[in-house]
Structure 1
Amino acid sequence: MSYLMQLRSLVGQRPLFSVAAGATVQDEHGRVLLQRRSDDGLWGLPGGGMEPGETFEDTARRELLEETGLSTPLKLWQVVSGPQLYHRYPNGDQVYFVSGLCRGRLNAAEIASAVPDAEGETLELRWFDLADLPDISANVNKLNLNLLRAEVSLPPLPLAPWPAPPGGEHLRELRALVGSRPLFSPGSNVLLRDGSGRVLLLKSRDSGLWMLPGGGMELGETFEDTARRELLEETGLEVGTLRPLTFSIGADFQFTYANGDRVYNASQLYEARYGGGELKLQQSEIVEARWFAPGERPPDEELSGPLIVSHLRKWA
């Protein structure tokens, strides 16, 4: 049983994050490979939900092979999120996609060797010109195709309307239903630098370890929304431009909290410049804040898990 199906057995049809990957495959003519889906009869990109420990590329390659019988190298292109990526399946299940869009190439003739999946999810496979697309399923597919259409100066496909996000604290509410089992935790961190190049670290009240400002995403947020909200909540600071740096996901970034809760992080790291202002720490979570130069950062064992270690190694 897949990760998401296991969660559904515990929480029903309520909105969940679907951390997923799509295989954006084009042929030598620039046409895109689409599958007609069995659940709604509409067309979309091969792809699906991630399993714990996978990267976006791992998932996109697995889903492409499972749904089409085809294989080609795929490289992460973009990661998308936000309220417009809400989707309600025909069976009533609700998700907010956090999707890694992975690109690759196949020769047009290779579709002749395609084998739709044995479970019947794929009814048909076909190459489509970006200017002549069929009825598309789900905003996540429309957004992906709009990125391709923009590259060749075509107007965007209209997105289906979406509801207002539900609010609340998604991960906390989910934990009350599922306990400490491993969960995907999409989120953001901010590498906030001052004029001397130092970076701001915060010491967690719970663990006593150092971390970057940041935290988990709420349903309907973008990664940038999350970064700005967490920075303001934890430090009282607001910043201008947030520059995306690296995205971290996969088996290396699982983490177990002191209370036993386990997560697989899917985290966007941003860089921002400190423009002044008084630090107002979130007393319930943060006990100390300090600026560190690259050669002065705490040792790995004093940092809050492999995600923060990875972020700071790249910075240093």
Structure 2
Amino acid sequence: MSYLSELRSVWGSSPLISVGVSVLIQDEAGRILLQRRGDDGLWGVVGGGLEPGESFVDAAHRELREETGLTCPDLAPLPLEEALVSGPEFYHRYPNGHEIYLVGMRTHGTLPAAALAHAAPDDSGETLELRWFALDDLPPLSSNINRANMNVLRLRAGLPALPLFHFPEAPPHDDHLARLRAAVGPRPLFAPGASVLVEDGRGRLLLLRHARTGQWVLPGGKLHPGESFEACARRELAEETGGHAGQLTPVQLLQGPEFRYKDTSGPWDSVGVLYRAEGVTGEITLPEGEITGARWWAADEVAGADLLGLYTRRAVEAWREGQTTPASHASLRP
């Protein structure tokens, strides 16, 4: 039974955050490989949900094998700004009534057109047909995720973007992941979220002291259903520091089996997007009970900081490696 199926057995059809991967395969003529889906009879790219402990790239290779029987040696993530999937437009209601908000990433690879002659989808019924399509001659597509996937490639090819289907407003923010944890118990769950790199005028990094552990973390937190990674980063920056970013640029996706962590409720598989903030303004205001301190750290001293978990350590390493990257500094006032 898949991860989502296990959750559905407890959660029912109500909205869930579904962490998944899209597999965009093109042939030598630039045509895209699409599958006619077994659930609605419409067309879409290969892809599906991650299993706990699985990386996006591993999931992409698995989904490609299951849904086509093919392998793609050069399958890799798209550049980050094209790869990320999140936001209210990625709401989907399946024919069986199950509702999801998709978050995740896009991968891309190439295969010769002749490879399709060797396709052998598994017997799950998920793939009814496979075919190559020109980007300017697409069949009826299933859901906004597939229209958005095509738009990434169409814009690259100089073609206009396809309009998205109507989607509902994101639901009000609530304790979705806490409610899900209470319902399913101490099994691994995905924890999508975002964190923010903020520098001051001297090029120092802002870290916050976590109230529960006393260790240092970046501003950041978990997504709400229907929230984009960037919206999450902006919200968490404001809630935890009082700062407001003029611009946020994604610089790294931190995800994979090594980023599993545990708290008192159970294990979580982190799916975190790291953003670099520019033009941050405001007055540092810390949320009572969650953050007990804030400090600016220079690159040569942050190695001695007691950082919370592998995620924070990798994020700070990414910041140190990017010290030569120009950025407008924060004017956050203490």
Q: TM-score, normalised by structure 2?
A: 0.91
Q: Show the 5 A alignment for 1:107-146.
A: 107-146=112-151
Corresponding position of 2:36? 36
Q: Separation in 1 of the partners of 2:217 and 2:184? A: 26
Paired residue type of 2:268: V
Deviation sequence 1:85-105 (CA, Å, 0-9, x none): 000000011101113110000
Corresponding position of 1:287? 292
CA contact (8 A) 1:24 1:101 kept: yes
Percent identical among aligned pairs is: 50
| Shift in alpha-carbon separation, 1:218–1:275, aligned structure 2, 3 A | closer
Corresponding position of 2:317? 313
**Which of 304, 308, 323 is matched with 1:304 structurally?**
308
- Report the Cα offset of residue 263 of structure 1: 0.8
Corresponding position of 1:202? 208
Corresponding position of 2:228? 222
Secondary structure of the 1:314 match is helix
Corresponding position of 1:23? 23
Corresponding position of 1:75? 76
Q: Separation in 2 of the partners of 1:125 and 1:98? A: 25
Secondary structure of the 2:247 match is coil
Corresponding position of 2:10? 10
Q: Mean Cα displacement is larger for which, 158-167 or 173-182? A: 173-182
Q: Separation in 2 of the partners of 1:2 and 1:116? A: 18
Query: 5+ unaligned residues in a row in structure 2: which ranges?
Result: 321-334
- Report the Cα offset of residue 299 of structure 1: 4.0
**Which of 186, 191, 202 is matched with 1:185 structurally?**
191
Q: Is 1:57–2:79 an aligned residue pair? A: no
Q: Separation in 1 of the partners of 2:193 and 2:280? A: 24
Deviation sequence 1:9-63 (CA, Å, 0-9, x none): 1111111111101110000000000000110000010110001122211111110
Corresponding position of 2:66? 66
Q: Separation in 2 of the partners of 1:292 and 1:17? A: 35
- Report the Cα offset of residue 314 of structure 1: 2.0
CA contact (8 A) 1:180 1:261 kept: yes
Q: TM-score, normalised by structure 1?
A: 0.96
Q: Is 1:161–2:166 an aligned residue pair? A: yes
Secondary structure of the 1:28 match is coil
Paired residue type of 2:272: S
CA contact (8 A) 1:193 1:274 kept: no
Q: Is 1:232–2:235 an aligned residue pair? A: no
Q: Separation in 1 of the partners of 2:142 and 2:281? A: 46
Corresponding position of 1:46? 46
Corresponding position of 2:327? none
Paired residue type of 1:231: L
CA contact (8 A) 1:194 1:273 kept: no
| Shift in alpha-carbon separation, 1:17–1:198, aligned structure 2, 3 A | same
Query: 5+ unaligned residues in a row in structure 1: which ranges?
Result: none
Q: Mean Cα displacement is larger for which, 227-236 or 171-180? A: 171-180
Q: Separation in 1 of the partners of 2:157 and 2:196? A: 34
Q: Is 1:252–2:253 an aligned residue pair? A: no
- Report the Cα offset of residue 315 of structure 1: 1.8
How many residues are paired up?
A: 314
Secondary structure of the 1:193 match is coil
- Report the Cα offset of residue 275 of structure 1: 4.3
Q: Mean Cα displacement is larger for which, 173-182 or 73-82? A: 173-182
Deviation sequence 1:195-247 (CA, Å, 0-9, x none): 11111111111121110000001111111100000010011111211121111
Q: Is 1:270–2:271 an aligned residue pair? A: no
Secondary structure of the 2:23 match is strand
Q: Separation in 1 of the partners of 2:183 and 2:233? A: 26
